[in-house]
Copies of this chain bind each other. A is one copy, B any other.
Amino acid sequence: MVGTRKFNEEDVLDIAVEVFSSKGFNATTMLDLAKETGVQRGSLYNAYQNKDVLFFKAFSHFTDNFLTFIEGELQHSDAKKAFTQLFKAIVERLCNDKEAKGCFSTRAIMEAAQKCPNIQLCLTGFLDSLEVIMKNRLDQAITDQQFIGNAQSTARYLVSLTRGIAVIERAYNDKARMTDIYQTALDYMPFKTAV
């Protein structure tokens, strides 16, 4: 490498995720991204070709972090507690971020999914991964005799639940409401306390 990039790509993508999360895909301009990252617009165009590509990169960056985060929160040996902890952490993450930004992936799905097949694939791929992680944990729970039900369907259902909570956050920005929702959902699920 000869001319080396001045800005830290990691930082820029982190900030891009923030900006896209809080303004949404369409309302975010390259100028916004330039201002927030401190990188000139021209440099962004040089590094990424355009907004779509930058979004794409930011999204990959986000999913890498998020999926790791999700898996980390499902570690508790009691299945119901594991999922409770997961949702608790998701809600914390949604609410505790400075100035209520909103869920990056949910906003992306609502706004950008239909934009192009690549982005659509990348978004469904993310949800699929989420589903797999949850399904695996549920399979484990079944093995541990802590859950009786269809792991596949339940995982899909739980993925949908995370999306619903993300929408509720946008509307009410009320942590108690979000907590009530996932607790109600988890209480209804056929978990069994360990034998």
Q: Which of A152-195 contact B (CB under 8 A)?
A: 153-154, 156-157, 159-168, 170-172, 177, 180-181, 183-185, 188-190
Query: Distance in Å from the Cβ of A181 to the closest Cβ of chain B?
Result: 5
Interface of A (DSSP majority class): helix
A156 touches B170 (CB 8 A): no
A156 touches B177 (CB 8 A): yes
Q: Which of A99-142 contact B (CB under 8 A)?
A: 102, 106-107, 109-111, 113-114, 120, 123-124, 127
A170 touches B114 (CB 8 A): yes
Given contacts A27-B26, A110-B102, contact A160 B189 (CB under 8 A): no
A184 touches B157 (CB 8 A): yes
Contacting residue for A113 out of B124, B171, B188, CB 8 A: B171
For A177, the chain B residues whose CB sits under 8 A away are: 156
Bound-state CA distance A153–B107 (Å) is 25
Bound-state CA distance A69–B15 (Å) is 42
| A145 interface contact, C-beta 8 A | no
A171 touches B107 (CB 8 A): no
Contacting residue for A164 out of B160, B171, B183, CB 8 A: B160
Bound-state CA distance A150–B188 (Å) is 11
5 contacts between A and B (CB under 8 A): A127-B172, A160-B167, A161-B164, A164-B164, A185-B185
